[in-house]
């Protein structure tokens, strides 16, 4: 590979202050790994915003190039599963957390974190999906493995206008599920219906003081991106044998609930961790993301920014103002 310097968004800490900035790096500063990738695209997830700004204690090693997602082309590999020119995806594990990540023109990562780009996806589409899409897909695959099917009843999705939420709505609608979108954004009801939601409910319509341990059962499935009282409400309103996927904490890390949904309705609460889900599930989910789970509105809900615009892009994520997905064009 070329030895010349390249651009990277490096996150560092001085005292208690965490700050990310664009710098020039050289290949010898990359971390250890068998596969060196010329990064074409990365993306912004909620976790990236927490990491880049220090709003969450995400980074475990400073300095660290941010970006938990990357897609690109292999330029060097000492692992015989990969050759120069292969198009690949690498997301999660320690990427952008304690190993230099995808916000740089080059990355070097262990081969076990890399998967070949599945047929049916471009490098751009892989990052329009990114960790958000992988997580939505993983949740759906695990819920179906737990018995969820369109005939069992509707599925409710919280954090609906976010990356994971919007992609989950689109994927579930593609599969034939009736989907209710739960959102804090009254102005985005048409957007959510356009993704395939058959109904939209505003979080402000739920009076959390009045939610009892068990309410009338409404949902066969629930995808939760926000945690806290919303997750309690979902559990209380699940139908018999329903399945809830707990993905995120955009509203709260707390969960104050009762055991009634579990022991009186047989509700399952599945924990979804995209970070360290390895083979063969990782390949299985990506292969479905390239086929029957591929969102119909992937391009419509994705905006693209340049690496240079990254520093000003994170605030909207922290304020819950984002809609859809953001791809970062790196060296495409
Ligand atoms: N478990 C995993 O492996 C995994 C993987 C990826 C992401 N996550 C987590 O999943 C969550 C969603 O990720 P994302 O990438 O989709 O984030 P995102 O694009 O920033 O979207 C988050 C959405 O949550 C809602 N929200 C934000 N702040 C809120 C608040 N204070 N109260 C209630 N709702 C709020 C908003 O949707 P509405 O306005 O429509 O309600 C917002 O658009 C995050 O917590 C993230 O850390 C977990």
- Whole-structure pTM value: 0.96
Q: Is the pLDDT of residue 2 over 70?
A: no
- Ranges of beta strands (E only) in 54-146 are 64-65, 69-77, 87-91, 106-109, 114-116
43 alpha carbon – ligand 1 mean position (Å): 15
Q: What is the pLDDT of residue 320?
A: 82
Which atom, in ligand 1's list, is nearest to the CA of 192? 40
How many residues make up the chain in this entry? 332
Nearest CA to ligand 1 atom 37: 159
- Determine the 3-state secondary structure of 157 from DSSP: strand
Compute the distance between CA of residue 26 and CA of residue 286 in angstroms, rounded to an integer.
31
Looking at the chain, the domain(s) classified CATH 3.40.50.720 span 131-271
Nearest CA to ligand 1 atom 34: 251
159 alpha carbon – ligand 1 mean position (Å): 5
Looking at the chain, the domain(s) classified CATH 3.90.180.10 span 6-117+301-329
Closest of 322, 324, 213 to residue 264, by C-alpha: 213
Nearest CA to ligand 1 atom 4: 247
pLDDT digits 0-9 by tens, 130-157: 999 999 999 999 999 999 999 999 999 9
Q: What is the pLDDT of residue 321?
A: 87
Q: What is the pLDDT of residue 174?
A: 97
Report the pocket of ligand 1 as residue ranges, CB < 6 Å.
Answer: 45-47, 131-132, 135, 159-165, 183-185, 203, 225-226, 247-251, 272-275, 317, 320, 322
Pairing of strands 69-77, 64-65: unpaired
pLDDT digits 0-9 by tens, 257-269: 999 999 999 999 9
pLDDT digits 0-9 by tens, 61-87: 999 999 999 999 999 999 999 999 999
- Determine the 3-state secondary structure of 313 from DSSP: coil
DSSP string, 254-310: -----SHHHHHH--EEEE---TT--TTHHHHHHHHHTTTT--TTTTTTEEEEEGGGG
Pairing of strands 238-246, 268-271: parallel
Assigned fold of 6-117+301-329: Quinone Oxidoreductase; Chain A, domain 1 (3.90.180)
Which CATH code for domain 131-271?
3.40.50.720
């Amino acid at each position: 590979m070329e030895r010349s310097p390249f651009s990277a968004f490096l996150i560092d800490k001085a005292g208690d202050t965490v700050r990310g900035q664009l710098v020039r790096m050289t290949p010898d500063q990359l971390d250890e790994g068998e596969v060196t990738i010329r990064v074409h695209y990365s993306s912004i997830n909620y976790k990236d915003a927490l990491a880049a700004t220090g709003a969450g204690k995400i980074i475990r090693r400073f300095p660290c190039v941010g970006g938990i997602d990357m897609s690109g082309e292999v330029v060097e590999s000492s692992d015989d599963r990969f050759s120069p020119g292969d198009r690949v995806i690498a997301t999660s594990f320690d990427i952008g957390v304690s190993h230099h990540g995808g916000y740089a023109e080059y990355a070097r990562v262990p081969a076990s974190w890399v998967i070949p780009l599945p047929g049916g996806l471009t490098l751009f589409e892989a990052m329009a999906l990114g960790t958000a899409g992988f997580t939505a897909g993983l949740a759906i695959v695990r819920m179906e493995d737990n018995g969820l099917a369109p005939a069992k009843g509707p599925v409710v999705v919280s954090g609906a206008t976010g990356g994971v939420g919007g992609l989950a709505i689109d994927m579930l609608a593609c599969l034939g599920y009736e989907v209710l979108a739960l959102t804090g954004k009254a102005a985005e009801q048409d957007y959510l219906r356009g993704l395939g939601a058959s109904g939209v409910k505003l979080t402000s319509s739920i009076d959390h003081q009045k939610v009892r341990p068990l309410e009338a059962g409404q949902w066969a499935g629930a995808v939760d991106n926000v945690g806290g009282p919303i997750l309690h409400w979902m559990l209380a309103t699940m139908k018999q044998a329903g399945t809830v996927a707990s993905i995120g904490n955009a509203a709260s890390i707390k969960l104050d609930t009762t055991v009634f949904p579990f022991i009186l309705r047989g509700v399952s609460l599945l924990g979804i961790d995209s970070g360290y889900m390895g083979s063969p599930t990782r390949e299985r989910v990506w292969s479905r993301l390239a086929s029957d789970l591929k969102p119909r509105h992937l391009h419509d809900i994705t905006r693209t920014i340049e690496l240079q615009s990254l520093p000003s892009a994170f605030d909207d994520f922290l304020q819950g103002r984002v809609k859809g997905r953001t791809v970062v064009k790196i060296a495409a």
